Chains A and B, each alone.
Chain A
Amino acid sequence: MKSKIVRLLLVFCFLPLFASGEVFKIATISPDGLGWMSKFRVGLERIEAETNKRVTFKIYPGGVQGDDATVLRKMRIRQLNGGVFAAGSLTRFFPDLQVYNLPLQFRSYEEVDFVRARMDSYISDGLQKAGIKTFAFTETGFAYLLANEPVSSLADLRKLKAWIPDNDPIAAELIKSFDVSPIPLNITDVLPALQTGMINAVVGPPSVILALQWHNHLTHLMNLPLVYIYSMLAMDMKVYSKASSTDQDTVVKILDEVFELVGRETRSDNERALQALKKIGITFVEPTDKAEWQTAADLSVQKLMRSGEISGEVVNTYLELLKNFRSIESN
């Protein structure tokens, strides 16, 4: 199958360049070998075929075009036309997209599904008005706190040397809400910092903890999903609009399908990773007083709203939906 595709592509290479076609240049920090990238590429091949090559994509994987901020800068000067971003990187286009990242609000995947089915379009419309075209959002998952000692209370947490990624406003906000002084580091420095004891706690989705081998230096996981993380393919609307509306429909249909599938697979991947952490001996600790954590998190949400970093309206809609879901569930 693969060689067939390669042969097909080689044939295409010799076709005259379709002067009227759009070549969208997309960057991502993911390496090419990851499963979602293979699905993405297959989707792009389908788009090329179904639009008779009027729409084609050029992918720059592995972070070769730089991090999210650099890719956004390159999009501004039209060196690139889009990228796969962590939602947080697009905050300045539409601050309300942070609503899903509010700490300790989502408590289960069922809640996520209920709310997202009703609010995703609000976020994608907001971004589109700001000139950013997005497709189905992709779940990165719930991030958990892992440390090399048991953590069940806020007092335990405040004793830790906790890492946050540098240039990550969502992580910074999360950790601030619990009154913790974090240690910002580049992701590549986390493993050495864990090895030397410079940090002794991290927050991340289970599959990231395992893939980056941080678990070898951590012993406990606090069994409370702290924050929900998601990402998306985002393109410069002006460039995207150059494709005909029929071709745009094809692109949306195929890419939504791809990213919805990727999201579902990520969820089960994260579930398996969480079980693997247990299996390899990480101790799962329940928070002693969930209300204490919730109060701190709720306070930070109020603070965010007051500061104007997110609109009160979107937070209220979001909290109302959660309330509705919980009342349906309890009945």
Chain B
Amino acid sequence: MLFSLLLPGCSNLFSGITAQLADGLSESIMSSSDIETVREGIPAFLLLIDGLLESGAKTPELLVSAADINGSFSVLVEDKDRLKILSAKAMRYSDQAACVAKSKLCRARELTFPEYQTVVANLSSKDLLVAYSLGTSWVGRLQANSDDWAVISELNRAKLLMERVVELDETYQDGRAHLYLGGIETLLPKLMGGRPAKGKAHFERAIEIEERFLLSKVIYAEQYARLVFDQKLHDRLLEEVLSADPVAGRFTLTNQIARKRATVLLESSKDYF
């Protein structure tokens, strides 16, 4: 049966999506080239934004920012328990944002799958802010809880939301919904039910929409090229990342993280392929 050995360690299904994609950090943080300073500085920023929200100013925009920064910070965190806390907080803020914005997505996660499908299908472009935020927080929750089958069971709900974001505006947030979808479609090889070809198309579209965002190429290499055993593509993508100028406005911080990961992947290329 084709099932064989899918099981052992399905709990690690999500470890491959390189990291929670960094979204929505303030311009100055995102433009920084100094990963360590940001790592040390963000907790203060998190406390600040929690405080702002507690003081009563709960707008969808602020809640989405709070969700994004909690989710984004996970890229710099290695402790698994801390990741779970951060992702749960991001999810809570995204959920709240949906309700404060009076979106159809408010409490939609509690619906049955067919009901949820209908809600998502009826979203419009005015829901993009909360839909994308909920989608990204959800992927973060999946990554942080990849040992929890009940959480893994939610994967297609998050995917459905990201697909709807792409339908409504594929260029939203520099086309990053494509990147999330690329990651999701390449979790499993074709023989185990994955859809790598579809994932590839999403990765390429994400790169077309915003080439300066170098993490796209890193995730494309790690998730797709390794999955289909295409060393040429793998090495080319990573070399492109390493030769590109990482300083690119709001992509700078993520690009620095992308370069670090690209170096590690390229070093292990010979051994893997």
Contact = CB atoms under 8 A, between A and B. Distances in A.
A63 B8 contact: no
- Provide the main secondary structure of the chain A interface: helix
Contacts of A28: 5
Interface in B222-245: 226-229
A191 interface: yes
Q: Interface residues of B toward A: which range?
A: 35 or more
B271 interface: yes
Contacts, number: 177
A63 B191 contact: yes
B190 A270 contact: no
A210 interface: yes
Given A62-B227, A64-B228, A231-B5, A3 B155 contact: no
Given A171-B1, A187-B192, A190-B193, A35 B9 contact: yes
A88 interface: yes
A39 B195 CA distance: 25
Interface residues of A, number: 67
A47 B271 CA distance: 16
Nearest to B8: A36
A6 B149 contact: no
Contact of A30 (B6, B113, B190): B6
Nearest to A2: B264
Contact of B12 (A9, A33, A63, A168): A33
A292 interface: no
Interface string B148-184: 1110110111000000000000000000000000000
Given A6-B264, A207-B149, A63 B5 contact: no
A269 B4 CA distance: 14
Nearest to A33: B16
B189 interface: yes
Nearest to B186: A31
Contact of A213 (B148, B153, B229): B153
Given A269-B8, A269-B11, A63 B113 contact: no
A31 B227 contact: yes
A88 B228 contact: no
Given A31-B194, A63-B190, A229-B4, 20 more contacts: A32-B16, A33-B13, A36-B5, A36-B8, A62-B191, A63-B189, A64-B189, A64-B229, A67-B191, A86-B4, A165-B1, A187-B192, A208-B7, A211-B6, A211-B7, A211-B10, A266-B7, A270-B7, A276-B152, A280-B153
